[in-house]
């Protein structure tokens, strides 16, 4: 399941983050790529020793964790390994699949891209996710997020002009099976809809009971 989140942070907070990003603090993105991905990765990333970097990443992480749709659809056990990437004209990231296990053996069930600057600020630079019938090209407004399975082949198209700024990261979910996550998400939407229109009805209780029992059965703890 692929889903988007809009307005993760207020526009003024996104602008504040972008204004703090000094191009001099970015290093070669190949340093965090796997042995095969190094051959197709052309970007820069905020250095891990930059003092303000962890503060920005924590702010973005907390915004994700507090987002109701993200909680419902991703069911995160942990959000991890976040990077802030910068693509200048001529840079791209060829087709690749994200590593299954990352630092401290954290599993990548879901990947996400938080767009930090306006799509009007650069030409090209779409995130392209390969699907069975056709590729899906994604380029969102600043402050918006795309979340997608880490198991997919995906790439970043070449930036033609301007600069593309994004934060990328990964989620280890409480439910590793994507079909189970989608069922739980649909049930959660149904119970919220029923509660909104009918309050805590018997139908609400039946769905809430089934959802809770499936979570007990499926949770990866």
20: phi then psi, degrees, rounded to nearest 5: -85, -15
> Where is the binding site for 2-oxoglutarate, in residues?
164
Q: How far is CA 220 from the centre of its chain?
A: 20
> Where is the binding site for Fe cation, in residues?
96, 98, 154
Contact 168, 96 (CB under 8 A): no
> Where is the binding site, in residues?
96, 98, 154, 164
Burial readout 11-47 (b: 16 or more C-beta within 10 A, e: otherwise): eeebbebbeebeeebbeebeebbeeebeeebbbbbbe
Q: What is the CA radius of gyration of the chain?
A: 18
Which of 40, 17, 4 lies closest to 113, judged by CA? 4
* Rounded alpha-carbon distances, angstroms, from residue 178 to 2, 10, 92, 154, 211: 10, 30, 28, 18, 16
Distance CA 142, CA 23 (A): 18
Contact 206, 160 (CB under 8 A): no
């Amino acid at each position: 399941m692929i889903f988007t989140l809009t307005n993760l942070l207020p526009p003024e907070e996104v602008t504040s983050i972008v204004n703090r990003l000094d191009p001099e603090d970015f290093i070669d993105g190949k340093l965090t790529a796997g042995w095969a991905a190094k051959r197709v990765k052309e970007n820069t990333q905020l250095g891990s020793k930059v003092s303000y970097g962890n503060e920005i990443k924590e702010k973005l992480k907390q915004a994700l964790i507090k987002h109701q749709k993200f909680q419902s659809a991703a069911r995160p056990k942990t959000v991890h390994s976040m990077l802030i990437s910068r693509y200048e004209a001529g840079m791209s990231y060829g087709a690749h699949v994200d590593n299954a296990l990352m630092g401290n053996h954290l599993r990548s069930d879901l990947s996400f891209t938080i767009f930090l600057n306006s799509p009007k600020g650069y030409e090209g630079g779409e995130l392209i996710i390969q699907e069975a019938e056709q590729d899906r090209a994604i380029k969102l407004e600043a402050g918006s997020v795309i979340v997608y399975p880490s198991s997919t082949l995906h790439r970043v198209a070449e930036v033609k002009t301007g600069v593309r700024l994004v934060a990328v990261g990964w989620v280890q979910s409480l439910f590793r099976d994507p079909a189970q996550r989608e069922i739980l998400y649909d049930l959660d939407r149904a119970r919220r809809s029923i509660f909104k229109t009918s309050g805590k009805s018997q139908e609400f209780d039946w769905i809430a009971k089934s959802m809770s029992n499936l979570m007990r059965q499926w949770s990866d703890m």
